[in-house]
Amino acid sequence: MVRVMEDKKALLPALLAVMALGWVVGWATSSEKSEYAIVAFAFGAVFINIYFSHLEKRGIVLEDERTLRINEIASRRTLQVTSMGLAVALLALSGKTSNPKMEGAFIAVGLVLAVMLMLHLLFRHYYSRVM
């Protein structure tokens, strides 16, 4: 029980970093300084990554094999549902390309689908060589 409380307390700096990141991004977007939001997001991501690596070196287990597998399955299903939704949207917009507003949406949805397919193929090729 003591170890679990210790592990949860170890996550406090990461939580504070995310809260600070949310505040900075909110301030930056409301004052139309989006470059600050991008820089804050990058610093926050680097800090959290380094901090989690530090926790793993100390022996604090954040994810075990079961949670990693659950995340893999959930990510796969999320991508499948999203790509099917985008495909249906692409089909629905295909008949309305005569409207200039719909043509932009059609192109955007098509590009997102194409990028998702290319990323999937690239990652699949990469991991088939690495694993």
pLDDT tens sequence across 73-105: 999 999 999 999 999 988 888 877 777 778 888
Residue 111 domain boundaries: 64-130
pLDDT of residue 122: 93
- Same structural domain, 7 and 54: yes
Quote the pLDDT of residue 34: 83
Residues 6+ apart with CB under 8 A from 130: none
Dihedral sign for Cα 39, 41, 44, 49, please: negative
Examine the domain organization and report whether 80 and 42 are in the same domain.
no
d(Cα 104, Cα 43) in Å, to the nearest integer?
33
Task: State the pLDDT at residue 95.
Answer: 79
Residues of the chain with pLDDT under 70: 1-7
Do 68 and 126 fall into the same domain? Answer: yes
Helix 12-30 and helix 2-10: axis angle, to 10°? 30
- C-beta separation of 53 from 83 below 8 A: no
Question: Looking at 18, 42, 62, which one is the last position of a domain?
Answer: 62
The answer to pTM > 0.75 is: no
The DSSP call for residue 62 is S
